[in-house]
């Protein structure tokens, strides 16, 4: 798995901060956070607790006019020396309706990754 030290993205991302709620498979409860960026395949989030690569999470991301829910898997994590850690979640089961809403947001605000 990627530790986040190298840029792997090839698709456009929206960098607008969106409200998100995450439920980690190893903890009870739901934690609120903001997306740092989001694309069709996943999102970058932050947490005040350490996260484990490979861990499954449940996500709810609030878009402007709807919410999207899905399961995801943490594919990379960058522990922070101070402040929240950053981590990437790959969407596992994003429904068709959620994909359409997410695609609309991304095409309106797309930031293309630098080619590495």
Of 114, 116, 115, 103, which Cα lies nearest the Cα of 38? 103
Q: Give residue-wise pLDDT tens across range 6-47.
A: 345 457 888 888 999 999 887 788 999 999 999 999 999 998
**Where do the domains of the chain lie, and which CATH numbers do they carry?**
16-111 (2.40.10.220)
Residue 6, pLDDT score:
39
pTM value? 0.79
Residue 3, pLDDT score:
45
Q: 12 with 39: CB under 8 angstroms?
A: yes
User: What is the C-alpha to C-alpha distance for residues 116 and 93, in angstroms, rounded to an integer?
Assistant: 28
Q: 35 with 17: CB under 8 angstroms?
A: yes
User: What is the C-alpha to C-alpha distance for residues 103 and 40, in angstroms, rounded to an integer?
Assistant: 7
3-state secondary structure of 101: helix
Residue 55, pLDDT score:
93
Whether pLDDT at 50 is above 60: yes
User: What is the C-alpha to C-alpha distance for residues 28 and 102, in angstroms, rounded to an integer?
Assistant: 28
């Amino acid at each position: 798995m990627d530790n986040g030290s190298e840029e792997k993205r090839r698709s456009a991302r929206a960098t607008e901060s969106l409200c998100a709620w995450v439920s980690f498979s190893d903890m009870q409860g739901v934690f609120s956070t903001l997306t740092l960026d989001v694309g069709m395949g996943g999102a970058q989030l932050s947490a005040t607790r350490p996260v484990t690569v490979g861990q499954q999470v449940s996500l709810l991301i609030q878009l402007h006019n709807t919410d999207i829910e899905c399961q995801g898997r943490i594919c990379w994590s960058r522990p922070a020396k101070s402040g929240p850690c950053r981590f990437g979640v790959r969407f596992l089961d994003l429904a068709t309706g959620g994909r359409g809403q997410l695609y609309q947001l991304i095409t309106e605000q797309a930031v293309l990754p630098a080619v590495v």
